[in-house]
A and B are shown apart, each in its own frame.
Chain A
Amino acid sequence: MWSYIVNRSLQTIPVLIGVTLLTFLLFHAIPGDPARMMLGLRANIATVESLRQQWGYDQPLPVQYWRFFKKASTGDLGRSTYTNRLVLGEIADRAPATAMLAVSSMLFAIVVGIPAGVLSALRRNTWIDFGAMIVSLAGISIPIFFLAILLLWIFGYALGWFPLTGYVSDVGWLALVLPSVALGTRPLAILARLTRSSMLEVLRQDYILTARAKGQMEWLVVFRHAFRNAFNPVFTALSGSLAGLLVGSFFVEYIFRWPGIGFIAIESIKQRDLPMIQGTVLVAAFVFVVVNLLVDIGYRFLDPRVKL
């Protein structure tokens, strides 16, 4: 087990190096001239030139990359050109709000999605099944920012049940509801569909027949025999959903004025604040790689048969 954990962790090193390389290329090489891009076409040449020197954009690309890599590996992602604050500090300040939103929307997805999937599988081809699957198809097809606007419109504005925008500390815990639903709907739909198909697969197995034949109570068959075996693929899908959650939170936070990482990410896109955009991209990819690593290791614990 330990050798697996060490091996799997070592595998992430080349990927993380690649992540810094791709981020570097995106923000330094492809734009041609990051200084010009930040200042716009109408800036005068002297200003562009001084920024170029100040940020080291006049150096050859490999030199720039090496400097970028050295700084990034010590957590120095530069300063925001808009607020002049340290990028990593800004991200760290905003992280709790985003983490709260991510956790609550994931809980929403799990608490509603998994039972819905189990129920659809058990009541296969009934209206419960069709209803759940149509709702989850809709949940996958609707863009997250449109869903957020619809929720805001219907439950915030028309019915007035929830505050329109704002953070928990200002308007209370009700403010968490709509953003979590908006962000959690897509993972919910994916989980429900996956749980359903995984349960259907398991319910066909002989050991379920055996369990039923020996007179086991139905709910015990479902939970002790079927669900525990159907859970593994669902668990892996959770990590995939997390990638969607990371970006989805950008739009949800922006629409609901939720003061998290996503909110500043969108603001920095609007302000052309390159160091800030670059920082969020790098941090998001880093978090995603680490979460995937943890999920893979967790999967080994759940299912020792897996040999990767």
Chain B
Amino acid sequence: MPALFKQKMASIGFGLILLLSVTAFAGPLLSPYDFADQNLRIARQGPTYDHWLGTDKFGRDVLTRVLYGGRISLFVGVISQGVALLIGVPLGCLAGYYRGWVDSVVMWTINVFWSFPYLLLVLALNIALTGAFRLALLGLFERTGLDRLTFVLIEPEAMADIITVFIALGLVSWVLVARIVRGQILSAKESAYVEAARAFGFSTPRILMRHLLPNIVTPIFVVVTLGFAEAIIAEAALSFLGLGVQPPTPSWGRMISDNYGLIFSRTGWCSAVAPGVAIGLAVLGLNLLGDGLRDFLDPHLKDELEARGGA
């Protein structure tokens, strides 16, 4: 396919993400409703003038909840990929640059993590962290007074849930980042510019930070974009199962699982279908952006990424 078309795909993807971010942050402010406002007299409505996407079984405005849920999804995606970068980039650099036993240990860890299906590991990790870790977080909020601060944005419990999800996703997503970084460093460190930097007597950290990393930013960016998409699906899957962000905070996956009984009613189906479409659009946007960038900037990356299937 011509590069131009790919670029067009990438810009469509970028446009989708931009649109989603803007509506997710501005939408709930513009909406006359609150995401938690219940009104049982207007429950289970189809789309009307007052409620563009209808109402759910508690009479809450579906559009407001979908938009607010977008905040959660974007938030989860950004932070979890941040965590993945924080772990994956240094480990990938170390393994690729030093080889030897460091490489063996990192590769072993990567292979072990790689042996679990992505979503299954996220699920297990989230279950594991929901116990002591979540309680410790809540305790920390209370002691530091952070609970009053987070309360402005979101309830402390919901905050603890979200942080647990971040950590679970990040602790799994770093594997893909580390693999790509290691591979890229392995091939880049043989190039002339690295040899030149070494000949100048630059220190290893300087060579890594100033010379190698800037040259592999593109593949890292592509991996993170695709990882973002997987994180959104994984978060939705977690909340679909009742893990992750707890009600009344709206999350797309939770909205689907709460409302999917309503698809059998004539008017209420919107409340289950709308969040699903929202997830699909967000993930489609990220996939288009990631694919387009990858094919346009770095065609060789394809084989390494293509073989991995999520849920």
Report Cα–Cα, A15/B113, bound state, in Å. Answer: 9
Report Cα–Cα, A36/B109, bound state, in Å. Answer: 29
- Pick the contact of A243: B117, B237, B276, B280 (CB < 8 A): B117
Report Cα–Cα, A138/B281, bound state, in Å. Answer: 9
Q: Which residues of B from 279 to 306 have beta carbons under 8 Å from A?
A: 279-281, 283-284, 287-288, 302-303, 306
Closest to A30 in B: B128
**Which residues of B sit under 8 angstroms from A233, Cβ to Cβ?**
303, 306
B60-100 interface code vs A (CB 8 A; 1 in, 0 out): 00000000000000000000000000000000000000000
Q: B109 touching A137 by the CB < 8 A rule?
A: no
Q: B115 touching A15 by the CB < 8 A rule?
A: yes
**Which residues of A sit under 8 angstroms from B302, Cβ to Cβ?**
197
A116 to chain B, nearest CB (A): 16
A114, CB-defined interface residue at 8 Å: no
A172, CB-defined interface residue at 8 Å: no
Q: A141-B280, A146-B276, A244-B309 are in contact. Are A251 and B240 (CB under 8 A)?
A: yes
Binds B, one of A19-27, A61-69, A84-92, A208-216: A19-27
Report Cα–Cα, A146/B128, bound state, in Å. Answer: 26
Q: A277 touching B112 by the CB < 8 A rule?
A: no
- Pick the contact of B108: A15, A250, A278 (CB < 8 A): A15
Q: Which residues of A from 6 to 37 have beta carbons under 8 Å from B?
A: 14-16, 18-19, 21-23, 26-27, 30-33, 36-37
**Which residues of B sit under 8 angstroms from A269, Cβ to Cβ?**
123, 127, 241, 243
A95, CB-defined interface residue at 8 Å: no
B111, CB-defined interface residue at 8 Å: yes
**Which residues of A sit under 8 angstroms from B112, Cβ to Cβ?**
15, 18-19, 21-22
Q: A26-B124, A145-B237, A237-B306 are in contact. Are A288 and B243 (CB under 8 A)?
A: no
A117, CB-defined interface residue at 8 Å: no
Report Cα–Cα, A193/B303, bound state, in Å. Answer: 12
Q: A30 touching B129 by the CB < 8 A rule?
A: yes
A3, CB-defined interface residue at 8 Å: no
Report Cα–Cα, A103/B243, bound state, in Å. Answer: 29
B311, CB-defined interface residue at 8 Å: yes
B287 to chain A, nearest CB (A): 6
**Which residues of A sit under 8 angstroms from B130, Cβ to Cβ?**
37
Binds B, one of A43-51, A75-83, A149-157, A221-229: A149-157
Q: A143-B283, A251-B311 are in contact. Are A19 and B132 (CB under 8 A)?
A: no
Q: Which residues of A from 104 to 155 have beta carbons under 8 Å from B?
A: 124-125, 137-138, 140-146, 149-150, 152-153
Residue from B1, B112, B256 whose CB has the most chain A CB atoms within 10 Å? B112
Report Cα–Cα, A27/B125, bound state, in Å. Answer: 9
A173-200 interface code vs B (CB 8 A; 1 in, 0 out): 0000000000000110010011001000
B240-256 interface code vs A (CB 8 A; 1 in, 0 out): 11110000000001001
Q: B115 touching A285 by the CB < 8 A rule?
A: yes
Q: B116 touching A145 by the CB < 8 A rule?
A: no
Q: A137 touching B131 by the CB < 8 A rule?
A: no
**Which residues of B sit under 8 angstroms from A248, Cβ to Cβ?**
311
Q: A141 touching B116 by the CB < 8 A rule?
A: no
Closest to B285 in A: A141
A149 to chain B, nearest CB (A): 5
- Pick the contact of A143: B132, B243, B280, B308 (CB < 8 A): B280
Report Cα–Cα, A262/B302, bound state, in Å. Answer: 31
- Pick the contact of A194: B128, B133, B253, B306 (CB < 8 A): B306
A97, CB-defined interface residue at 8 Å: no
Report Cα–Cα, A241/B310, bound state, in Å. Answer: 8
- Pick the contact of A157: B263, B280, B284, B303 (CB < 8 A): B263
Report Cα–Cα, A236/B303, bound state, in Å. Answer: 10
B35, CB-defined interface residue at 8 Å: no
B228, CB-defined interface residue at 8 Å: no
Selected A-B contacts with CB under 8 Å, 22 pairs: A15-B108, A16-B115, A19-B112, A22-B113, A32-B132, A141-B229, A141-B280, A142-B276, A143-B240, A145-B236, A145-B256, A146-B276, A146-B280, A193-B306, A233-B303, A237-B307, A237-B309, A251-B240, A270-B242, A281-B120, A284-B116, A288-B117
Instruction: Taking A22-B113, A30-B125 as given, write out 14 further A-B residue pairs in contact, using a Cβ cutoff of 8 Å, ordered by the A residue number.
Output: A18-B115, A19-B112, A26-B128, A137-B288, A143-B233, A143-B240, A145-B240, A190-B306, A239-B307, A240-B306, A246-B117, A246-B120, A284-B117, A292-B115
